[in-house]
Structure 1
Amino acid sequence: MNNGHPDPADTVDAVPRSRVLPREEWGAVLGFAGVWLVFLLMAVASVTVARIQAGDAAGAAVAVGSGVLFTAVYLVSFIVPDPVPSWPRPANTGLYTLALVLVTALFATTAGSAAINVVPYFAAVWVFSQRRRTALTAVAVIAAAGVVLALLFTDGEPRIWLTGSILVATAVIVAVRLASDSEDAMTAVRHELDLSRQREELARDVHDVLGHSLTAVHVKAQLVTRLIDVDPARAKAEAEQIVTLTRSAIGEVRSTVDGLSAPQLATELAGARRVLSDAGIRAEVPGIEAVAQVPAQAAELFAWTLREAVTNAVRHSGAARVRITLAADRLTVVDDGVGPDGPVPVSGPGEASEPSSSRRRGTGLAGLRARARAAGGTLEVRPEHLGTERPGTRVEVTL
């Protein structure tokens, strides 16, 4: 996830999705979604106190019960965003919306017009689970419905306060979503700038490496042509120098290509965020600043691992979510897809590289195991949740 509300997976509804968010993400998601519940708590407490003061114990119990039930349905909508995985995301969110409407109707039996205060929570359920266009359309409809209800069932100062609170709360929720989208866009721009810099460096390196070498080879080849009849010995010596220059140029080109092909961890993180988003996969990706904690000797291995794991997640896993975590000595990539065909052996220093049980991913993972072994690290690829229909895949490299 990105800041608690990434680009949702309903961009590719044809891809099977997992019903439940990975347990490791529950804390962040519940914290993000739950922070708004303080306003619901205030409304329920106000109604409960009023019912108790009026001697209506049953009404107070309904207020508390409906408040608890509303909170449960609201939070579950974030933890289990797709209760029916075969349905598209908007249909699943619509199912939660219907449940929240029924609970709100129960709350309204004792709270009256105060129940309209829950409208922003409907907006939150939609804005943080859908693509931006769908989210903004839904929020506009929900806010308009809330204002209409406020106009119909309140008057005077309460009408002004209720209408204002609905509009302000929904505006804040939308602003949070737009801010997240803006951050993702800036990350993509930084990635493009980094790629542009790499292209410029490549052009410069090719010019510096090949320009001099090819010019020298061309001059000597012309010299050999002129000397071959008049001074064969010298022509032979010049030809031998051409071979030497060519061999040196080939070595320099290989060195340049090796330097180019070695991925940069910051670039791979930015690229992973973009690739996963473009594929309609929810992504929890650490910020580029997290690279600063990774030692230089680990950064290249982590970059190669990240590139391969993200590629496999997009091509083979059918995942709806991917979570990437980065520490100084460890990189972990977890998806909620179909899982590997079988557990991949752990490799470590001095261990032989065994073939992967997944033919789809075996070649790339075998290369990663070799890199991990050469760097003195370990690579593990295994199902994240054994015994489930969609066990997911966990790729973890430790150095």
Structure 2
Amino acid sequence: MASEAVTPRADRRLHRARQATLLSLATGVWASVLLPAVGLTREPDPGRVALGAAGILAFMIAQTAVLYAAVTPWLDPRWRRRAQLSLAGTAALSVPLVGPVAAGAWPTWAWLGAALIGMAPLLLRLRAAVAMTAGVLLVTVAVAVWTGGSIARHLAVTGGIGVAVAAVNGFQVWFWDLLVEARQGQAAQARLAAAEERLRFARDVHDLLGHSLTVIALKAELAARLAPVDPERAGREAAEVQRLAASALTEVRETVHGYRAVDLHEQLTSVAGVLRSCGVRCTVLPPPADLPPTVAAELAAVLREAGTNVLRHSRADWCRIRIDREDDVARMTVTNDGADDRGPDAHSHGLRGLTDRLAAAGGELRVRREGAVFTLEATVPVPA
């Protein structure tokens, strides 16, 4: 199974898929566990009925824990091992408790054996699952001989029903693992894109400063050597060092500004693509064509943070992005559903930074929540 920690909260479709998988596994396995209850109704001895019921109940509880662990890849491995050991212990204990129930009249324990075989794909790899199946079949034969039941009937129930349930469970777990791995791939792709952008920026800064700092270092060394013998020339070299440093500082600032000033259209395309890849229906109304570059850069920064908030702080099914201009004000509205109490608010660090940035440009950032719908609205004045 997928082992990397992944939580389906970031994707409502993955959350629903997990719930559906867990329900389907529980339905299929518990159906084979409920059939031993028929044996309880056919057992005349009240003592055996009580012991058998206790064994079946313990087995079902251990099964539930294993089913939960099977579709919870972020679970602590120690908890997973405890659940599996509990199932192994209750299965062994069920043989003396459930085996004698309705002896000869109903293959009571054989149905528990079928449930064990059905859960093999949730616990073990193929070879170990085959070995486990063989062991359960041997126990079934031993129980049939011990209770005077039909060996063929016990093997048909344990082997036939168990293998069928195992095939269905194996397919469901395999499909769930594919969904988890796909979600991991999306997260890795996003991290890779961010890392590549940081590397690009680092290369730009390195290329820009490498030459300037080398020249500055050489000029400073020359000025230090000339100071005792030719103060006038040393002063000229020191002035040149100062000029080079100021020039390098200006170039760095221009590079950082260009890095920050993300194109609004590119940002709209990027945010919409990421949201749609995560299962969010994203509607984008194109921005006006006459937005000044400075205004578009401010809105692009807000849009980037808003898209991050939709993914991190909601379970959105849909998102609507609208940018328009009213006279001397440009307004961007980002609305999404799926907001909850953990969603962003006015005290969020990201939103606080955007509020300060827009305030410096004469703009304003407002957020509101109506039920499960969260709305972020940014306004930026358009210079005349």
Please, what TM-score do these two structures have when normalized by structure 2?
Answer: 0.47
Please, what TM-score do these two structures have when normalized by structure 1?
Answer: 0.46
Decide which structure has the larger Cα Rg and report it: 2
Higher relative contact order (CA 8 A, sep 6+): 1
